């Protein structure tokens, strides 16, 4: 193929001839001059062609290229303030590489149902491209954060036996002679085993919840990053979380400013994300909610409205810690100061985005953990290996899980997390 230049590199190529391959975003023309905006994944480029400067065939091919036609355009790179991006291409040749007839996503408004039916094509639009760039930055920031701190990546299984946070919301699949396997809801329990081998570890991958949820905060398949740290108690855990979240947000502000601008995201609330985050015990949270007029009683879990109310009291993320044991998972460490509660925490994002992290110190006392498993009627034989971790050198440890799509939705300022992943899986969406 011809030597090719990427749009992002054009500012360094001013005054030279270049060939750019990409897809037609829009064309505009008057009688004697025509414009084409091209997308190549690295940016957007305006191309210009004057009728007098070319032959009739090239002129027609250029000004009539329908939306999303794949083209190669060759011309001189010029600096021009009237062009979005600053650089512009004065076209001398156009080659049609792939025709596009009646592209369904027009530059006008569409409903969400239509857009998600055409997700494979919708992904090409400016907003979606910007969102994917930010997601990419979030993922890279996550990996860099842990790499820089010498955490070891341990990949946990996606196919598991019946083990996890709670039964009843697991996707099932037949598994040879062993009956049923389940798609993992979390890698945490496996990571606890890995933490005893490697100290500080994390896993990062898709997780699955067969919850029949229909809200702006839920997907049936979502990406979660879960670190697990030996010798971290609940306070150490929260310190790591605030450092982690601030690092991710900071990276997006620093490196994806253009995409945040494309999304018209007000970055002021993101600039404020820095340690320390506010900390509020569950008991304090209940008191605060009651003083704000909520009828919630001690012992009840916090709902979406309560979370939004609490988060709106602060200008940056807030931790709520030490929840009642009854509303939290079996593996959480009983609070020595108040055995009605466990040493866990949620991290609530501001601006109504709700829970982005759930974390806890883990129960490291063998007998207490086994009692809890029995108390909840969990199948003890499935947890034998997990109990082993408390028999052979048990250790203080903590960890947390951060939902990637919720984090991306918050950073992008999007109302719904389904746009935060290229091909969202939801109760009513399996196509495309």
Partner RNA sequence: UCCGGAGUAGCUCAGCUGGUAGAGCAGGCGGCUGUUAACCGCCGGGUCGGGGGUUCGAGUCCCUCCUCCGGAGCCA
For helices 404-412 and 234-255, what crossing angle results, to 10°?
50
Q: Is 150 in the site for RNA (CB under 7 A)?
A: no
* Closest CB to RNA among residues 100, 255: 100
Looking at 68, 88, 363, 419, which residue binds RNA (CB under 7 A)? 88
Nearest distance, CB of residue 354 and RNA, angstroms = 6
* Closest CB to RNA among residues 29, 58: 29
Distance CA 235, CA 18 (A): 56
Contacts of RNA in 208-247 (CB under 7 A): 209, 211-220, 222, 224
Q: Is 175 in the site for RNA (CB under 7 A)?
A: no
Contacts of RNA in 369-388 (CB under 7 A): none
Nearest distance, CB of residue 116 and RNA, angstroms = 6
Contact between residue 23 and residue 39 where contact means Cβ atoms under 8 Å apart: yes
Looking at the DSSP bridge assignments, the partners of residue 208 are 221
Q: Is 417 in the site for RNA (CB under 7 A)?
A: yes
Q: Is 187 in the site for RNA (CB under 7 A)?
A: no
* Closest CB to RNA among residues 3, 57: 57
Residue 206 region, left (φ>0) first, then alpha (ψ -120 to 50), else beta? beta
Nearest distance, CB of residue 305 and RNA, angstroms = 6
* Closest CB to RNA among residues 255, 278: 278
Q: Is 107 in the site for RNA (CB under 7 A)?
A: yes
Which stretch in 45-53, 131-139, 154-162, 189-197 sits in contact with RNA by CB under 7 A?
A: 45-53
Q: Which residue has the tokens 């190529």?
A: 13
* Closest CB to RNA among residues 175, 297: 297
Q: Is 32 in the site for RNA (CB under 7 A)?
A: yes
Q: Which helix (H) or strand (E) holds 244?
A: helix 234-255
Nearest distance, CB of residue 14 and RNA, angstroms = 14
Contact between residue 155 and residue 206 where contact means Cβ atoms under 8 Å apart: no
> Exposure string (b/e) for 3-42, b if CB count within 10 Å is 16 or more?
eebbbeebeebeeeebbbbbbbbebeeeeeebbbbbbbee
* Closest CB to RNA among residues 224, 389: 224
Q: Is 305 in the site for RNA (CB under 7 A)?
A: yes
Q: Is 110 in the site for RNA (CB under 7 A)?
A: yes
Q: Is 191 in the site for RNA (CB under 7 A)?
A: no
Distance CA 336, CA 338 (A): 6
Which stretch in 109-117, 172-180, 191-199, 245-253 sits in contact with RNA by CB under 7 A?
A: 109-117
Which stretch in 43-51, 144-152, 238-246, 309-317 sits in contact with RNA by CB under 7 A?
A: 43-51
Looking at 2, 52, 336, 384, which residue binds RNA (CB under 7 A)? 52
Q: Is 140 in the site for RNA (CB under 7 A)?
A: no
Phi and psi (nearest 5°) for 288?
Answer: -65, -45
Token readout for 296 is: 């919630």
Contacts of RNA in 236-295 (CB under 7 A): none
Phi and psi (nearest 5°) for 355?
Answer: -70, 120
Token readout for 143 is: 């990996």
Looking at 11, 79, 97, 114, which residue binds RNA (CB under 7 A)? 114
Token readout for 168 is: 């009843």
* Closest CB to RNA among residues 151, 400: 400
Which stretch in 6-14, 78-86, 132-140, 362-370 sits in contact with RNA by CB under 7 A?
A: 78-86
Tell me the chain's radius of gyration from C-alpha atoms.
26
Q: Is 416 helix (H, G, I), strand (E, B) or coil?
A: coil
Q: Which residue has the tokens 């979606």?
A: 128
Q: Which residues fall within 8 angstroms of residue 168, CB to CB, at 6 or more apart?
A: none
Judged by CB under 7 A, how many residues of this single chain contact RNA?
71
Looking at 11, 299, 379, 415, which residue binds RNA (CB under 7 A)? 415
Nearest distance, CB of residue 239 and RNA, angstroms = 17
Task: Quote the Cα angle for 334-238-152, to 5°.
Answer: 100
* Strand ranges across the sheet with 344-349: 152-153, 200-208, 221-230, 397-403, 354-361, 344-349, 318-321, 278-281
Contacts of RNA in 320-379 (CB under 7 A): 327, 346, 354-358
Contact between residue 79 and residue 86 where contact means Cβ atoms under 8 Å apart: yes
Which stretch in 24-32, 127-135, 141-149, 278-286 sits in contact with RNA by CB under 7 A?
A: 24-32
* Closest CB to RNA among residues 324, 334: 324
Phi and psi (nearest 5°) for 331?
Answer: -85, 0
Token readout for 126 is: 């400016």
Q: Is 299 in the site for RNA (CB under 7 A)?
A: no
């Amino acid at each position: 193929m011809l030597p090719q230049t990427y749009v992002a590199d054009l500012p360094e190529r001013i005054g030279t001839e270049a060939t750019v391959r990409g897809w037609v975003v829009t064309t505009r023309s008057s009688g004697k001059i025509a414009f084409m905006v091209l997308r190549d994944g690295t940016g957007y480029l305006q191309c210009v062609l004057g009728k007098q400067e070319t032959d009739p065939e090239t002129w027609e091919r250029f000004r009539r290229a329908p939306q999303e036609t794949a083209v190669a355009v060759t011309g001189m790179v010029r600096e021009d303030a009237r062009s979005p991006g600053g650089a512009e291409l004065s076209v001398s040749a156009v080659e049609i590489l792939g025709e596009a007839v009646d592209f369904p996503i027009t530059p006008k408004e569409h409903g969400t149902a239509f857009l998600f039916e055409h997700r494979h094509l919708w992904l090409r639009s400016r907003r979606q491209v910007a969102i994917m760039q930010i997601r990419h930055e979030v993922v890279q920031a996550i990996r860099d954060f842990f790499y820089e701190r010498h955490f070891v990546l341990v990949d946990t299984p996606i196919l598991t036996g019946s083990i996890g946070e709670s039964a009843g919301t697991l996707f099932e699949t037949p598994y040879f002679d062993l009956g049923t396997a389940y798609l993992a809801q979390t890698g945490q329990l496996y990571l606890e085993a890995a933490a005893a081998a490697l100290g500080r570890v994390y896993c990062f991958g898709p997780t699955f919840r067969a919850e029949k949820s229909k809200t702006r905060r839920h997907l049936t398949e979502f990406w979660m990053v879960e670190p697990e740290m030996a010798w971290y108690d609940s306070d150490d855990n929260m310190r790591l979380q605030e450092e982690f979240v601030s690092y991710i947000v900071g990276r997006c502000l620093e490196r994806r400013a253009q995409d945040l601008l494309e999304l018209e995201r007000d970055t002021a609330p993101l600039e404020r994300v820095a340690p320390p985050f506010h900390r509020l015990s569950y008991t304090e949270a209940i008191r605060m909610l009651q003083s704000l007029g909520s009828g919630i009683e001690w012992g009840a879990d916090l709902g979406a409205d309560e979370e939004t109310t609490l988060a709106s009291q602060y200008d940056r993320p807030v931790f709520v810690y030490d929840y009642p044991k009854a509303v939290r998972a079996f593996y959480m460490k009983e609070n020595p100061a108040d055995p009605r509660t466990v040493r866990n925490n949620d991290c609530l994002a501001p601006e109504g985005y709700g829970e982005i992290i759930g974390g806890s110190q883990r129960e490291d006392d063998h007998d207490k953990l086994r009692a809890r498993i029995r108390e909840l009627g969990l199948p003890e034989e499935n947890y034998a290996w997990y109990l082993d971790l408390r028999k052979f050198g048990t250790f203080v440890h903590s960890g947390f899980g951060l939902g990637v799509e919720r984090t991306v939705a918050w950073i992008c300022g999007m109302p719904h997390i389904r746009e935060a992943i290229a091909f969202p899986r939801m109760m009513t969406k399996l196509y495309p």
